[in-house]
Amino acid sequence: MRIGELAERAGTTTRTLRYYESRGLLTARRTDQGHRTYDEDDLRLLQQIRTLQDFGFELEETRPFVDCLRAGHPAGDSCPASIAVYRRKVAELDGLIEQLQAVRAQVGAQLLRAEAELPHGPEPRCELEAVTDTDTEG
């Protein structure tokens, strides 16, 4: 298949495919007229790259998965180098989750403090609400 068909089937652009080719992730074969041609294996490589990028992997992190597929393995994650990338990504995600949990705890504490300091009685109106109310009354 030609580059346009591959881009369409993979849900990407020809520009992206050329970029992947320049990075060595995709290899085009050439016709006698110099046109790039691809096959179903190339589509599988692109689907692997896109799936990993959707999960937050950087483009270079997809290389071991692509290499694994090129080596003839049925899945891009069935090689030791791919497993190592998975492990690094899981550790990275665990760190991000810990950071988010710490921020959430801080924001939750600030919320409790702010709610505890609210004056008792009728809740004061925000000036912005007063402007909005008068705008809609006319």
Q: Which CATH number fits domain 3-118: 3.30.70.20, 1.10.3720.10, 3.10.20.30, 1.10.1660.10?
A: 1.10.1660.10
Residue 14 has a pLDDT of 93
Residue 121 has a pLDDT of 58
Residue 2 has a pLDDT of 93
Q: Write phi, then psi, for 2 (nearest 5 degrees).
A: -85, 170
Q: Give domain limits for the chain.
A: 3-118
Residue 117 has a pLDDT of 86
Residue 13 has a pLDDT of 93
Segment (H or E) for 111 = helix 80-116
Residue 137 has a pLDDT of 57
Regions of the chain with pLDDT less than 50: none
Residue 28: closest CA among 49, 51, 61, 4: 4
Residue 87 has a pLDDT of 97
